[in-house]
């Protein structure tokens, strides 16, 4: 029975989550672009919260300090003040946040849930491609990759049905020397410039067998035990689509990430983090044929961001995107400084951006 963090969120929790996001000084580091596009709405949510809290003598500086040092405690506090004031205004505020925000604090309970989808044996071979780079100032990336590879070794799908490839960009190989990283195929790209995730994805996809299903998986996304079986069945049953096996990405806080990386999914355990709503990266399932038809990833994207959305926009024309109602669990790691503007990201790759920030 697979276990997932739950996305069930009531109205008071949506508003409390937006309040924490607005006040937590570290929240922009989760995703600068999502924080920037959500900033105004989260500020509105905070104003709404203070009007509801009324005479509870809220000190903004104290709230900011608590949001950064203990966001889960502030979330509980804010939700506790909001929940008794069930009203049409609270419901409307929550509905607006759910529909429009891109970044919101979330507390989730891991629940055991039997899948209702087909879990018949994998019909087509699956190539899992994981782009990877770890540096001395980024040690958590290695920890996360160990956790991801371990989870992939403990799947309900038969091991012969899928193959794991890690593509490492570095001056010297590190993965083969780590016995905690079992995999089927390793590709080393001798490259030390800004991480070119698009290049790593393309190298991994090139070595996949004709007729295979590609799972393009970041090295910090933790799979559950039915991850391969469930998603391979989806693509086999509907190969004309690009499948995103999630509605939102659940970015765990550092302590929660350490627990999850060590113990995996444990039903009944609660975790804290930030939801990035409706992203297009982190994990993509697509046939190799559709990947090639879409032209693969654009290797002009270097550093952080942009390549996933660019690929999804092109792939959508040959394999329309289909989302599935799950959370994608992201393990914390050190992050580089991220641009807060998508226009800036696209311009760096020689492209224009005409959508909303």
285: in domain: yes
pLDDT at 33 over 50: yes
113: in domain: no
Burial class (CB in 10 A: 0-12, 13-18, 19+), 67: buried
d(CA 82, CA 304): 37
291-301 pLDDT tens trace:
999 999 999 98
119: in domain: no
Do 144 and 98 belong together in one domain? no
131-162 pLDDT tens trace:
999 877 788 999 999 999 999 999 999 888 99
232-269 pLDDT tens trace:
999 999 999 999 999 999 999 999 999 999 999 999 99
Range of the structural domain that residue 92 is part of = 3-106
- Mean pLDDT, residues 31-43 taken together: 92
303: in domain: yes
Do 95 and 199 belong together in one domain? no
Do 249 and 178 belong together in one domain? yes
- Mean pLDDT, residues 51-57 taken together: 77
pLDDT at 357: 42
pLDDT at 355 over 80: no
pLDDT at 271 over 80: yes
Beta-sheet strands, E only, within 191-241: 213-217
Do 17 and 67 belong together in one domain? yes
Do 135 and 244 belong together in one domain? yes
Do 163 and 301 belong together in one domain? yes
d(CA 122, CA 162): 9
Number of structural domains found in the chain: 2
pLDDT at 350 over 60: no
Do 150 and 202 belong together in one domain? yes
112: in domain: no
Do 82 and 139 belong together in one domain? no
pLDDT at 37: 92
Distance (Å) of CA 34 to CA 103, 109, 213, 279: 6, 24, 30, 9
120: in domain: no
Do 102 and 137 belong together in one domain? no
Task: Using pLDDT thresholds of 50, 70 and 90, give the confidence band for residue 188.
Answer: very high
**Domain end: 106, 135, 160, which one?**
106
For residue 242, what is the domain's CATH number?
3.90.550.10
Do 147 and 240 belong together in one domain? yes
pLDDT at 338 over 60: no
Do 12 and 98 belong together in one domain? yes
pLDDT at 217: 98
Task: Using pLDDT thresholds of 50, 70 and 90, give the confidence band for residue 56.
Answer: low
pLDDT at 7 over 90: no
Degrees to nearest 5, angle at CA 153 with 147 and 154: 95
pLDDT at 193: 83
308: in domain: yes
DSSP secondary structure string for all residues of 2-51: -EEE-----HHHHHHHHHHHHH-TTGGGT-HHHHHHHHHHHHHHHHHHHH
pLDDT at 349: 47
76-134 pLDDT tens trace:
999 999 999 889 999 999 999 999 999 999 999 898 765 545 556 677 899 999 999 98
Do 146 and 253 belong together in one domain? yes
277-335 pLDDT tens trace:
999 989 999 999 999 999 999 999 887 778 999 999 999 999 999 999 899 999 998 87
111: in domain: no
């Amino acid at each position: 029975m697979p276990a997932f963090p739950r996305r069930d969120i009531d109205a008071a929790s949506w508003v409390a989550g937006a309040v924490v996001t607005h006040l937590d000084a570290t929240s922009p580091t989760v995703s600068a672009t999502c924080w920037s596009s959500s900033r105004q709405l989260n500020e509105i949510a905070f104003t709404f919260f203070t009007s509801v809290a009324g005479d509870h003598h809220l000190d903004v500086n104290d709230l900011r300090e608590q949001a950064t040092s203990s966001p889960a405690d502030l979330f509980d506090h804010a939700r506790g003040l909001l929940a008794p004031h069930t009203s049409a205004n609270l419901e409307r505020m929550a509905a607006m946040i759910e529909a429009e925000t891109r970044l919101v604090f979330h507390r989730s309970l891991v629940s055991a849930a039997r899948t209702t989808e087909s879990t018949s044996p994998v019909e087509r071979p699956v190539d899992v491609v994981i782009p990877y780079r770890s540096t001395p100032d980024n040690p958590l990336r290695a920890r996360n990759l160990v956790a991801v590879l371990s989870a992939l070794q403990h799947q309900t799908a038969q091991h012969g049905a899928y193959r794991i490839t890690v593509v490492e960009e570095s001056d010297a190989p590190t993965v083969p020397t780590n016995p905690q990283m079992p995999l089927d195929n390793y590709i080393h790209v001798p490259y030390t410039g800004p991480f070119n995730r698009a290049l790593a994805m393309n190298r991994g996809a090139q070595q996949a067998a004709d007729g295979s299903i590609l799972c393009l998986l970041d090295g910090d996304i933790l799979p559950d035990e039915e991850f391969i079986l469930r998603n391979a069945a989806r693509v086999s049953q509907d190969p004309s689509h690009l499948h995103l096996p999630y509605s939102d990405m659940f970015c765990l806080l550092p302590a929660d990430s350490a627990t999850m990386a060590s113990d995996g999914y444990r039903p009944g355990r609660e975790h804290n983090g930030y939801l990035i709503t409706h992203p297009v990266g982190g994990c993509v399932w697509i046939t190799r044929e559709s990947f090639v038809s879409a032209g693969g990833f654009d290797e002009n994207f270097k550093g952080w961001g942009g390549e996933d959305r660019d690929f999804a926009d092109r792939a959508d024309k040959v394999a329309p995107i289909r989302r599935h109602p799950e959370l994608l669990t992201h393990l914390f790691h050190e992050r580089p400084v991220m641009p807060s503007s998508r226009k800036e990201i696209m311009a760096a790759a020689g492209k224009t951006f005409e959508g909303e920030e």
